[in-house]
Chains A and B, each alone.
Chain A
Amino acid sequence: MELLSTLSLGFSVAMTPANLMYAFVGCFLGTLIGVLPGLGPVATIAMLMPATYVLPPVSALIMLAGIYYGAQYGGSTTAILVNLPGEASSVVTAMDGYQMARKGLAGPALSTAALGSFFAGTVGVLILAAFSTPLTKVAFKFGAAEYFSLMVLGLIAAVVLASGSLLKAIAMTVLGLLLGLVGTDINSGIPRYTLGIPELTDGIGFVTIAMGIFGYGEIVMNLGRTDMDREIFTGKMQGLWPTRKQVREVTPAVLRGTLLGAALGILPGGGAALAAVSAYALEKKIKMAPDEIPFGQGNIRGVASPEAANNAASQTSFVPLLTLGIPPNAVMALMLGAMIIHNIQPGPLVMTRNPQLFWGLVVSMWIGNLMLVILNLPLIRIWIKLLTVPYRFLFPAIVLFCAIGVFTINNNTFDIWMLGIFGFVGYLFGKLGCESAPLLLGFILGPMMEEYLRRALLLSLGDWSTFVTRPISAGLLAATVLLIVIMLLPAVKKKRAEAFTEE
């Protein structure tokens, strides 16, 4: 079978001692970067590229890929331990992950995230290897109208995420949408709400907002509580592994997350964030076991599913890369660039022209995933120990790393100012009881939604019916309506019950 031969070719390339070492170095560096809040793989890969010129191309790419994956794993770690989501998909992980950490369950949270991600990554690689070409044909059917409907579905899912007041969650999502619109409007080229500041013409950075609201906001909230309340991490630490019961709860969640993530990752521009949000929303709507912790307070399914989803999506996001030569995100664009420097022509023909490079890379990514699980599991013990460091030492470190991390994105101090401003905003939200996760999700999905809406209308020459006459788009919108109905049903029932009992 062709699958076996390509995979074995890949293994033969990836398993040489030299390449294994490069993979390890990459994973290690990546984890380090991922753990440090704010610091991102793009800046690092860019800086390390000259060092890779002397390496053979496959090895260079393997190392850079290791950095990419390592950063994702590391990012989940910080999201769970200190509530600092380093990238869009970790926002969802942070929600229940951090709550688990506060209850002394950091170990199981981290190990579940790692193992769930590994499983999802494996499935993702298999799908990638076996089904790339037919899957692209599906992806081609997605035009602007379909993407718009998908984004709407994602937004409703983001509202479902919230555990507090529904109205406030919707308002936060809308606020996130508005903040996402700051910057240059792609359809007209005009800067909006930038107040004449050049640094804002590309919008507010996601990392800046996330670090400010989640990072600084949380720190000030913590310091503001009296010493009595400030038990950051209470109770006994459970230790590394999830209990058998937890594993039983988590397995179906991981499966669901993997499937959802793999499907959404195929669409260029679909992305890991959307996958994570949808997976979490799906889990939340599934009937809960009687003794399960509610979502938002440390439910382990709420960690496992989004993590599996975003890792599966990261893998399958290589499908457009393979078949179309289109990089799914900035890091991949950089990797393609690295290939160019090494005199390899990226593009759809790399698969056939340079099979050992291509499959070696794919397999090494799976090996990278494996290495990261092996690397990270023992590290979890160290991270847990880190949590016992007195908070008065921990928080200045967090403040520092957020500031440096944000600076390295654009080499511009303006980002540090924005960080401070959003720190204040984050504290304000915390004080007023507004949840920040829907805001961040609105922030990510908003601009995309507008872009697709306007492009769909451009292409249909102003005809709104395009959203329902195109079959896939219509289907997605129907699913959205269904989701809204499911969401409102319990509220309606409750209101009715209240009305009856109050009489």
Chain B
Amino acid sequence: MRIKNQKDFASGLMFMGIGLVFAVGTLFYDVGSASHMGPGYFPLLLGVLLTALGVAIALQAVVLKTGAGEGIGSWAWRPLVYILGANFVFGILLTGSPGLGLPTIGMIVGIYVLTLIASLASSQFKIREVLILATVLAVGSYMIFIVLLKLQIPAWPYFITG
């Protein structure tokens, strides 16, 4: 059984999985009846529907000749890791993490780190350009968010603001 359309097949599996998770999740809630729906009714309905759709899509991918037959292709792991990594690190630096014992480092430092990490995702990384970009972004963000819009974002590390 050759899978004729990899993308659709994988999508079908994904939908099946998600649908099942939601449907099974309703075990914790009161489903109720059609005329007096409990909190679990609608999610159960939708979860089952999604699972059924997933099955249909996966089957269609196997049986019919849909799509150009192209595979999924390679996964862009490097950009993914760097972009998401930049995001997470920024979050930690911004307000600190009491669980990990990290104090607030603030937005300015966060911007530098974020820009550095994110730029690593590009194949054309030049440290000087990245530092200039980070500075522009840091200054710009400070002026716009903190000075102009007066938003409550921690800008500086804890040892400066006390």
Interface residues, chain A, with chain B CB atoms under 8 Å away: 29, 32-33, 36, 39, 43-44, 47-48, 51, 165, 167-168, 170-171, 174-175, 177-178, 181, 185, 187-188, 190, 192-193, 216, 219-221, 223-224, 227, 391-393, 395-397, 399-400, 403-404, 407-408, 411, 413, 416-417, 419-420, 423-424, 427-428, 431-434, 450, 453-454, 457, 462-464
Contacts and interface: CB of A to CB of B under 8 A. Distances in A.
Q: Which 4 A-B pairs have the closest CB atoms?
A: A224-B76, A462-B35, A416-B91, A223-B79
Interface of B: 7-8, 10-11, 14-15, 18-19, 22, 25, 29-30, 34-40, 42-43, 46-47, 49-50, 53-54, 56-57, 60, 66-67, 72-76, 78-80, 83-84, 86-88, 90-92, 94-95, 107, 111, 114-115, 118-119, 121-125, 129, 133-134, 137, 141, 144-145, 148-153
A192 B27 CA distance: 11
Given A171-B54, A174-B50, A193-B25, A219 B91 contact: no
Given A423-B83, A462-B36, A171 B149 contact: no
A393 to B, nearest CB: 5
A174 B36 CA distance: 22
Contact of A216 (B74, B87, B148): B87
A44 B15 CA distance: 38
B46 A392 contact: no
A403 B137 contact: no
A164 B141 CA distance: 39
A359 to B, nearest CB: 30
Nearest to A222: B79
Contacts of A193: 22, 25, 43
Contacts of B80: 220, 224, 424, 427
Contacts of A432: 7, 10-11, 14, 72
A392 B111 contact: no
Contacts of A397: 133, 137
B15 A171 contact: yes
Given A178-B50, A420-B88, A457-B37, A396 B151 contact: no
Contacts, number: 191
Contacts of B50: 171, 174-175, 178
A396 B38 contact: no
A190 B80 CA distance: 36
Given A168-B11, A423-B83, A47 B49 contact: no
Contact of B7 (A43, A220, A433): A433
A221 B133 CA distance: 22
Contact of B94 (A413, A431, A450, A462): A413
B94 to A, nearest CB: 6
22 contacts: A33-B149, A48-B149, A51-B150, A165-B8, A167-B56, A174-B50, A175-B18, A178-B50, A190-B39, A193-B43, A223-B79, A224-B75, A395-B83, A395-B118, A396-B86, A400-B114, A404-B107, A404-B145, A416-B87, A431-B75, A433-B11, A457-B36
Contacts of B22: 178, 193
Given A178-B22, A395-B83, A403-B91, 20 more contacts: A29-B149, A165-B8, A170-B53, A175-B18, A178-B18, A219-B83, A223-B76, A223-B79, A392-B119, A395-B118, A395-B121, A404-B107, A416-B91, A420-B84, A427-B76, A432-B7, A432-B10, A433-B67, A454-B37, A464-B34
Contacts of B111: 400
B43 to A, nearest CB: 5
B13 to A, nearest CB: 10
B146 to A, nearest CB: 11
B145 A223 contact: no
B35 A192 contact: no
Contact of B39 (A36, A170, A188, A419): A188
Contact of A413 (B47, B76, B91): B91
Contacts of A39: 145, 149
A416 B90 CA distance: 9
A167 B57 contact: yes
A419 B156 CA distance: 23
Given A178-B46, A190-B39, A47 B119 contact: no
A226 to B, nearest CB: 9
A475 B63 CA distance: 40
Contacts of B46: 174, 177-178, 181
B151 A434 contact: no
B118 A167 contact: no
A396 B125 CA distance: 12
A387 B102 CA distance: 38
Given A393-B129, A395-B122, A188 B18 contact: no
B125 to A, nearest CB: 8
Contacts of A403: 87, 90-91, 114
A420 B88 CA distance: 7
Nearest to B74: A224
Nearest to A221: B76
Contact of B53 (A167, A393, A420, A454): A167
Nearest to B72: A431
Given A32-B144, A220-B83, A392 B18 contact: no
B38 A188 contact: yes
Nearest to A419: B87
A396 B149 contact: no
Nearest to A457: B35
Contacts of B88: 416-417, 420
A92 B75 CA distance: 28
B90 to A, nearest CB: 5
Nearest to A428: B14
A416 B94 contact: yes
